[in-house]
């Protein structure tokens, strides 16, 4: 996940013309390319009371995210404003705490080490909560999601998230993602153990690079969050699409904080408050996030 606009995917999207998208997606996509018009969120006094004195005095939360993963985080057409569900939600969390979010674009595979080093207060970049990641950072759950496979229009090779189907193919993913670290290696191992044709993982530094590899035919498919793949495919106007089938390994998605961060209690309370008053539902509708991404345990 790293910089959607201006890059190869931007060229694909803009060349195709956003105005011909389906109605609900067109509205989201069109607004998505403009600097954010999100409504401000009110302060929750109970949440604000949990904010550490040092953070309250600073007045801002430095939030890291990799702006290449629509509809969650990406650049508006001014090429500098980070927008998307995660950008909106990070701002809403900060505002509920009585603070402002200072959002930084950071390469995905360096974000968690940056949290560890204290360069950012928190990170919101569609991080799946995994045991390995929990060893180095703490998480506050705010969504859930699973993987899907992006394919050429019509899925000519009939790919799916079944490892047996992916054997013999070149499959892309972004470095640092669970798809690159866990799923593709596991799928490749199953192919090897079964004696099937080799599955070749092809990893890229950014989501944009992985998308370009798919659309240019250098790989047969691309693994990523299913909601992101579906949204990006619609923005691309038919250059690629989400293969049909159930999402793979639905997991919690979390806001990352340093181990033992004094901000965790306030962030968790803000997430719960934003679920309770319907803010999450409103932002999800704006960015075409399906209800299946909502978590039953916000702030866990």
Find the mean pLDDT for residues 27-55: 77
Find the mean pLDDT for residues 83-92: 96
* Domains (range + CATH), the chain: 8-145+251-293 (3.40.190.10), 147-249 (3.40.190.10)
CA dist 134 and 83 (Å) reads: 27
Per-residue pLDDT band for 146 (boundaries 50, 70, 90) equals confident
Rounded to 5 degrees, φ, ψ at 223 are -95, 135
- The DSSP symbol for 20 reads G
Q: Indicate the pairing of strand 100-105 with strand 60-65.
A: parallel
Q: Is pLDDT larger for residue 123 or for residue 288? A: 123
CA dist 274 and 281 (Å) reads: 9
The pLDDT of residue 10 is above 50: no
User: Which of 83-87, 149-153, 224-228 has the least mean pLDDT?
Assistant: 224-228
Per-residue pLDDT band for 88 (boundaries 50, 70, 90) equals very high
Nearest Cα to Cα of residue 150 among 203, 221, 219, 235: 221
User: Which of 68-77, 85-94, 95-104, 168-177 has the least mean pLDDT?
Assistant: 68-77
Over the stretch 242-280, which tens digit does the pLDDT of each residue have?
Answer: 998 777 888 899 999 999 999 999 999 999 999 999 999
Per-residue pLDDT band for 19 (boundaries 50, 70, 90) equals very low
Over the stretch 200-226, which tens digit does the pLDDT of each residue have?
Answer: 999 999 888 999 999 999 999 999 988
The pLDDT of residue 292 is above 80: no
Find the mean pLDDT for residues 128-144: 94
């Amino acid at each position: 996940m790293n910089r959607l606009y201006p890059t190869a995917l931007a060229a694909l999207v803009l060349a195709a013309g956003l105005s011909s998208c389906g109605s609900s997606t067109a509205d989201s996509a069109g607004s998505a390319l403009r600097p954010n018009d999100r409504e401000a969120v009110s302060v929750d006094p109970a949440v604000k009371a949990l904010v550490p004195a040092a953070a309250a005095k600073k007045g801002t939360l430095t939030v890291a995210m990799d702006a290449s993963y629509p509809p969650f985080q990406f650049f508006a057409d001014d090429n500098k404003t980070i927008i998307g569900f995660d950008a909106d939600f990070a701002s809403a969390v900060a505002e509920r705490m009585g603070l402002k979010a200072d959002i930084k674009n950071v390469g995905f595979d360096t974000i968690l080490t940056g949290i560890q080093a204290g360069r950012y207060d928190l990170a919101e970049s569609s991080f799946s909560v995994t045991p390995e990641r929990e060893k180095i950072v703490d998480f506050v759950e705010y969504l859930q999601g699973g993987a899907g496979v992006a394919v050429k229009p019509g899925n000519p090779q009939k790919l799916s998230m079944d490892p047996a189907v992916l054997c013999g193919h070149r499959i892309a993913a972004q470095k640092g993602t669970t798809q690159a670290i866990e799923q593709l290696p596991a799928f490749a191992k199953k192919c090897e153990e079964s004696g099937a044709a080799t599955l070749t993982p092809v990893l890229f530094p950014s989501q944009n690079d992985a998308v370009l590899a798919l659309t240019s035919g250098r790989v047969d498919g691309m693994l990523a969050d299913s909601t992101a793949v579906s949204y990006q495919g619609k923005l691309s106007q038919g250059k690629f699409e989400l293969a049909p089938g159930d999402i793979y390994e639905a997991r919690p998605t979390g806001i990352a904080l340093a181990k033992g961060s004094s901000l965790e209690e306030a962030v968790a309370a803000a997430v719960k408050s934003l679920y309770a008053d319907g803010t999450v539902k409103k932002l999800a509708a704006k960015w075409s996030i399906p209800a299946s991404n909502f978590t039953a345990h916000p702030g866990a």
